[in-house]
Amino acid sequence: MKWKYESPRKAYGETLVALGREREDIVVLDADLSTSTKTAMFGKEFPDRFFNVGLQEQNMMGIAAGLARSGKTVFASSFAVFATGRAYDQVRQSIAYPKLNVNIVATHGGVTVGEDGASHQMIEDIGLMCGLPNMRVIVPVDANEVRRVIRFVASQNGPFYVRLTRPALPLITSPEDEFVFGKAMLMRDGEDVAIIATGIEVSYALLAAEQLHKEGISAAVINMSTIKPIDKEIIVKYARKTGGIVTVEDHNIYNGLGSRVAEVLVEHYPARMLRVGMPDKFGRSGRWDELLAYYGMDDAGIIKAVKKLMEVKK
């Protein structure tokens, strides 16, 4: 498959600037990483509505809460490991509990942070944020969807957690596609197995499905951008239709997409299932694509998981 690639972080920065031109209530905070998160684009054009708090993520979340209390629509950004790990207590007590209008947009999520190594490869953030009452969690699949998601969360009353990646991602949706919060997007239909993926892993799922088709296995591919609330309807539909689900995520297999899907299956329609993701291990330093292959999270790893599931189904 030949795809064009675009940075989700750049799409985020550009969308913030566009929103800033349209609305004076938009304010943006960052924790000394604005060049990497691309919030610097907003800061350059709207310096009076941009606050770089320095290496103080906890304080950033408290300031974000105060600005939201004053009627602002707030975007607060940092790397995922800092936005959710270092500042968890402040997110919980100051943003989620009072249900304030703060959109936490974290970049550099997952093992695909790459060379920065285990200390910066946040593989538990989806679980942390999904566990917070009032928090809603979205993992866009590409730059086109990032633009739609950022506009969506800006139109709603927060809080939201939006997770972005470090690498540029293939454009597998079109600018005309619609983002429907809480609803998954069927990328490819299939009869034998359903691959439910999120974020960077959706493109690998599509590559795997193409190869599986050549081998006589019909695999559906579902882009699950909204992790919380999750689309129960499509999960049950494809569990019934195929009898087998494989989930794929750049996250620990515990407390992420796979866990959310398993909860739905257990409660509504038990089916065979396998989870592809970080196998409850901290990552290593290396090129992000090599790390995905090393941990069995690329298209070859997905194909292996699907074939294992197909054997169990027989």
Q: Which residues are catalytic?
A: 57
Burial degree of 96 (CB within 10 A; 0-12, 13-18, 19+): buried
Q: Quickly tell me which residue has 């089916």 as its tokens.
A: 271
Tell me if 223 sits within 8 A of 141, measured CB to CB: yes
| Backbone torsions φ then ψ of 76, nearest 5 degrees | -120, 125
225, 195, 202, 222: which is closest to 303 by C-alpha?
A: 195
The amino acid occupying position 118 is A
* Cross-strand pairs, 122: 109
Alpha-carbon distance 15 to 273, whole Å? 37
DSSP string computed for 98-161: TT-SEEEEEESBSGGGGGG-TTT-B-SHHHHHHTSTT-EEE--SSHHHHHHHHHHHHHS-S-EE
- Omega into 8 within 30° of 0, i.e. cis? no
The tokens for 230 are: 């999750």
Alpha-carbon distance 76 to 106, whole Å? 8
